[in-house]
Amino acid sequence: MQPTGKLDLESIIDEGPVTGLQISIFLLCGLVAMVDGFDTQAIAFVAPEIMAAWGAAPSAFGPVFGAGLLGGLLGALAFGAAGDRFGRKVTLSCAVLVFSVASLLTPFAHSTAALSILRFITGIGLGGALPSFISLASEYAPKRLRSTLVGAMFCGFPLGAVLGGAGSALLIPAFGWKSVFIAGGMLPLIILPAFILLVPESVRYLALQNDHAAIARILRRLDAESRWNGESDCRAAMPHSPVSSLFTQGRATATFLLWIAFFLSLLLTYFLINWIPVVARTNGLDIGKAVLAVAMLNLGAVAGCIMLGRLADRFGPTRVIGCAYLAGAMAISAIGLVGWSPGLLYLTSFVAGAFSIGAQMCTVALCAVFYETGLRATGIGWAMGIGRTGAIAGPVMGGVLLGDGVAPSILFAIAGATSVGAALAVLVLGRLIQRRKRNLQPHDGVHEDTLSHSVTRGPLKRASGSEAFPH
């Protein structure tokens, strides 16, 4: 029986107001996401300049692009597991340091082989940062606002790509291509000290470690120590976060569905980023209009993510995300039909970004909510890693289809079909959770319209970081 007026740790975070400390955490994680987005697409901004400077053929840059994506895949897997074992803050700090140093070393490369190695290392850091900053933000977000806040934080990623494109357009003519990598390396090093000083370790992760002294210090900063009953209610710790745990206790089907959604949505995202400019140029538009169409795609993703996140918190994430993917499929299909008109191309790209890529960003928040604290970074890391294989496949698929003479209208209809596939995966996941909800008895403190995201077999238990997971 807890003392009157006292709350457990979960209730303090989930039911309390959003404090200045939490806002600082979301903002700094968002800044890390922004520099991650900048550095991820930096090579695309400067590749034409490097080709001209080195006299290299475009085909020589295939391994350079692939090395960065492969590094991102491996980084997400490795750093995701490390985040669950060693903590979000230290793992994220190390990942940021890796991609900062690798970016700063990139101007010293004088061959495509050296550039490929540096992009591989940069990719490890970039991919490795994702699971930790997503986990950290989600674990400080109140349950009622989690999709909104995590989605808004992750908007830093496409926003970083937009600012990176604009910044590169200014830096390259003035200072050369090397300045883009110097900026990409210096910005995170400027942010990192503020992050280390201001952002605490995840309070939910500390609960798994039974570090009550550290929890008390953080609750003091949240002005909530006096309301804590001294209990963390985080008993389902998995100290070594084995990947096999993603497939135990009824998680297997949901894990596979999340992987399918991430694979298809990232395939779609990188397909659009790479092939919208090609379609625009094929239809006679100049390079400026082609680049602006991609910027509209990213801006749409930012707007859509914020809108969809708010709707997801109100109506349930799987329903909102699934419907958004379906709406996005229609806009994507339309891109192949309107490439001759700049205005229509900008509009359809914005709408496609708002629904399909906005839904993909909200799927990140969905993944963070689904896995309990002891598995969250591992679950996100593996989902993002599987998604990176889709990111590699998307541009390749477009190239193969165009090489076979497929018309743009058919090409983008096929891309729209991948958005439909992602929608089906998310909607089936929602049905799975809804079915399990009907088969389980409600647990005290869990609303009848929600289900613990741990999706355990047997009686419904309050899992570590037991955020309720609406269908």
12/441: higher pLDDT: 12
As a whole number of angstroms, the distance between CA 127 and CA 73 comes to 6
Start-to-end Cα distance in the chain: 31
- Indicate the Cα dihedral angle 280, 285, 287, 289, nearest 10°: -80
Predicted pLDDT at 429: 92
| Portion of the chain with pLDDT greater than 90, in percent | 43
pLDDT of residue 287: 64
Residue type, 61: F
Other Cβ atoms less than 10 A from the Cβ of 390: the count is: 24
Cα Rg of the chain, angstroms? 22
**Beta bridge partner(s), residue 468:** 452
Least confident of 36-50, 109-123, 330-344: 36-50
Q: What is the dihedral of CA 137, 431, 267, 91, to 10 degrees?
A: 30
CB proximity list for 248: less than 8 A, separation 6 or greater? none
Helices (H), 55-177: 62-86, 88-105, 112-139, 146-154, 156-175
pLDDT digits (tens, 9 = 90+) for 268-318: 988 888 778 777 777 777 767 777 888 889 889 999 999 999 999 888 899
Residue 152 pLDDT > 80: yes
| 437-444 long-range Cβ contacts below 8 angstroms, 24+ apart | 437/471
Cα–Cα distance measured from residue 357 to residue 419, given in angstroms and rounded to the nearest whole number? 9
The torsion of the CA quartet 423, 429, 431, 435, rounded to 10 degrees, works out to 180
Strands 451-452, 468-469: pairing kind:
antiparallel
pLDDT in tens, 165-206: 778 878 888 898 999 999 999 999 999 999 999 999 999 889
Mean pLDDT throughout 40-53? 81
Distance CA 328, CA 307 (A): 14
Mean pLDDT of 389-417: 84
Q: 7 forms bridges with which residues in the sheet?
A: 228
- Express each pLDDT in 439-467 by its tens digit: 654 444 333 333 334 343 333 333 333 33
Q: Which two tokens stand for residue 175?
A: 């200072």
Long-range contacts of 416-420 (CB under 8 A, 24+ apart): 416/328, 416/329, 416/330, 416/332, 416/333, 417/329, 418/264, 418/265, 418/267, 418/268, 418/271, 419/264, 419/265, 419/268, 419/325, 419/326, 419/328, 419/329, 419/332, 419/356, 420/325, 420/326, 420/329
Structural domains of the chain, ranges and CATH numbers in brackets: 9-235 (1.20.1250.20), 237-457 (1.20.1250.20)
> CA-to-CA distance for 444 and 434, rounded, in angstroms?
18
Contacts of 400 (CB under 8 A, 6+ apart): none
What is the overall mean pLDDT for the chain? 84
pLDDT of residue 457: 37
Cα–Cα distance, 78 to 97 (Å, whole number): 15
Nearest-10 Cα torsion for 127, 122, 241, 256? 30
How would you class 291 by CB atoms within 10 Å of its CB: exposed for 0-12, middle for 13-18, buried for 19 or more?
middle
- Report whether pLDDT(214) > 60: yes
Q: What is the mean pLDDT of residues 142-156?
A: 88
3-state secondary structure of 450: coil
Q: Which residues contact 445 (CB under 8 A, 6 or more apart)?
A: 462
The token pair at 115 is: 């550039």
99-110 exposure pattern, b = at least 16 Cβ within 10 A, e = fewer: bbbbbbbbbebe
Q: Which two tokens stand for residue 450?
A: 């929600």
Stated pTM of the model: 0.81
Q: Given this model, what pLDDT does residue 120 score?
A: 95
